[in-house]
Amino acid sequence: MVTVQKIIHRDKTCILLRCQPNEDIVQKIRKLPDSKYSRTHQCWYIPYEKENWHYFIQTGLPYVTESSGTTGSAEPLRENTDKKIVKDPEPDDKPEKNVIHQIEIHYNNQRLWVKIPYRPADVSMIKNLHGAYWNNGQKLWSVVGNTDNLAKLQSHFNYWSPEIYGRIYNLILETCDPKIVEIFKTPEYKDVICVKLKGYGIDQHFIQQIANAKYDPEYKRWVVPKEDSIIAAILTHFSSNGTKVINRLCQKNKQYNQTNYSNSEKQQHLISKFSLDYQELVKQYTDVMLRRNNSWSTIYTYVPEMVKYAEALGIQNIAKADHTLINEYFNHLAGKKIAVSTIHTSINAVKYYYQKVIFRMDLKIEQLVRPKKGFHLPTILSTQEVNRLLECVSNTKHIVLLFILYGGGLRLNEVISMQVNDIWWDRNQMLIRSGKGNKDRVVMLSQTLKQLLRKYFNEFMPQQWLFEGQDNQTQYSERSVQNVVKNAVKKAGITKKVSPHTLRHCFATHLLDAGIQLPYIQTLLGHKDVKTTMIYTHVTTQSISHVVSPLDNLSPSVNRS
């Protein structure tokens, strides 16, 4: 039995509904539109309007009015029920007035849309939801469609049945946390691949059924045999049920390096940069360099200097020039205060032309006068500075870049040319392909770097190149590496002029400080001549500390009166 009474609650006229604790009755009252529970009166209430009263009658609950004490099915509360209740004037910050008598909440386009009659408590609650705003065009509230907002709306309005609420809850989870499968390879494991499963409701059982599948709890991934049939089954199974599949395995016949042009294409592009007067000279010059298998780095350095030489002497005169005319050109360069290293490069380019391209046997190349080279020591960071440099970076990719530059003593182009297969995990070595002079070599792979590479491969999943660009196909650019070093130096508060090559100098010097012999350092650096490596003997502290002053071999009296 429900006791019905007209009351004024929170300045609103309401229909009070009081009953004995009974689950069936309470559930029917809770489902009434706009029903609320009053802790003050210890009962339920609904707005004092005709349609609300009709909704109550339709429940079929027996009731008694507190004024008459009679039971029945007729409407005992006739006073004002046929009239709409006139609301009090609304404050300026309230939404525009509109006649809404029922609550409507629906989920669409990752948002929850709420249409309610204006009540301060309801509006205040909605305003506090994440991402809530008033849509003036549709006259409703819009909030972010997440599970937290959904739960708060259900708790406040009790709008959905448990079944519908569960379906919406699952739909939101699937939208906010989509199913994704990532497949990739890491040099840490041989003959296996890694599979990461993400998203709400992802099918873990399928991977568990694969023979010899193992779970790696540290990186939350599965390790399964690298077999074509298994890979195909994984791709087919997850793609068929709408799961997004990201295949990061290195695929055969795929063009990963978009700038991997042929020699002829590079040659044509280089020739096109010069005017027609010099294109035949550039072609003749580069043809020889390509036949001799000179690197493109050397070609790009020599060709511009050779063209400048031809411009100065005249294209028609260079083939017959003698050493006097050639020396006059270099004297002209020296007078322009051009860097000594640039003049040496120009001399090398001109010598190459006469010795390798046109074979001028009568020209005495040794009579070309070179400027005297200065002696400059490389910039070296202390071990404390290097440690500070490595610790100030937080991006995993940038950390690995700096560790490889310093830990392997690599040149910039050697780092960006490294491939995933160049990491020899079991041998603790890294293969450096086509270093300076087009020579391969092997350097050490430290245990510290291996720990970092585990994290790096799990996060970035490189396919072919160890360091990939944003398109995941091309190599990381030289400028990007330079910026990584520049930003790290700034964060570390180091005032010295530091470049990626500086870390190579630090690698060699710190090895020498530790007592490693020069021939080993020469091999690790890939130097052709040990004289190049010997420059680090001028900056090492180890050798100087072992030198004994001749004064210490004497025994003069120190304390004299």
Identify any residues that bridge with 246 across adjacent strands, giving them in sequence order.
182
pLDDT of 241 > 90? The answer is no
Q: Strand, helix or coil at 421?
A: helix
**CATH architecture assignment, domain 383-544:** Orthogonal Bundle (1.10)
Rounded CA-CA distance 224/184 in Å is 11
Alpha helices of 109-208 — where are they, by DSSP H?
120-127, 147-157, 162-176, 204-208
pLDDT value at residue 46: 87
Buried b (16+ CB within 10 A) or exposed e, 34-52: bbbebeeeebbbbbbbbeb
Helices 500-513 + 396-408 axis angle, to 10: 50
Buried b (16+ CB within 10 A) or exposed e, 348-378: ebbbbbbeebeeeeebeeeebeebeeeeeee
pLDDT value at residue 295: 86
pTM: 0.65
Tokens of 151: 């739960």
pLDDT band with cut points at 50, 70 and 90 for residue 513: confident
What single-letter amino acid sits at 207?
A: I
Tokens of 518: 């020069």
pLDDT of 98 > 50? The answer is no
Apex CA 422: angle with CA 417 and CA 426, to 5°?
155
DSSP string, 59-127: TT--EEETTT--B-SS-S--TTTTSPPPPPPPPTTSPPP----S-EEEEETTEEEEE----HHHHHHHH
Rounded CA-CA distance 513/107 in Å is 67
Rounded CA-CA distance 75/11 in Å is 23
Burial class of residue 269, CB neighbours in 10 A (0-12, 13-18, 19+): exposed
Apex CA 180: angle with CA 179 and CA 184, to 5°?
160
pLDDT band with cut points at 50, 70 and 90 for residue 536: confident
Tokens of 544: 């100087």
Q: Tell me, which fold does domain 180-247 have in CATH?
A: MutS, DNA mismatch repair protein, domain I (3.40.1170)
Q: Tell me, which fold does domain 263-367 have in CATH?
A: DNA polymerase; domain 1 (1.10.150)
What single-letter amino acid sits at 549?
A: S
pLDDT of 275 > 90? The answer is yes
Cite the active site residues. 411, 436, 501, 504, 527, 536
Burial class of residue 89, CB neighbours in 10 A (0-12, 13-18, 19+): exposed
* Sheet containing 192-198, strands listed edge to edge, beginning at the edge strand earlier in sequence: 214-216, 221-225, 192-198, 180-184, 244-247
Lowest mean pLDDT among 53-67, 71-85, 197-211, 398-412: 71-85
Q: Tell me the mean pLDDT in the region 470-483.
A: 89
Identify any residues that bridge with 180 across adjacent strands, giving them in sequence order.
198, 244
Rounded CA-CA distance 81/75 in Å is 9
DSSP string, 275-340: -HHHHHHHHHHHHHHHHTT--HHHHHHHHHHHHHHHHHH-TTTGGG--HHHHHHHHHHHHHTT--H
DSSP string, 324-342: HHHHHHHHHHHHTT--HHH
pLDDT value at residue 253: 57
pLDDT top residue among 130 and 470: 130
CA quadruple 352, 357, 361, 363: dihedral sign: negative
- Considering the chain, what is the average pLDDT of its residues? 84
pLDDT of 341 > 60? The answer is yes
Percent of the chain surpassing pLDDT 90: 45
pLDDT band with cut points at 50, 70 and 90 for residue 252: low
pLDDT tens track for 343-396: 899 999 999 999 999 988 888 777 777 777 666 778 889 999 999 999 999 999
> Domain residues of the chain, as ranges?
2-65, 104-176, 180-247, 263-367, 383-544
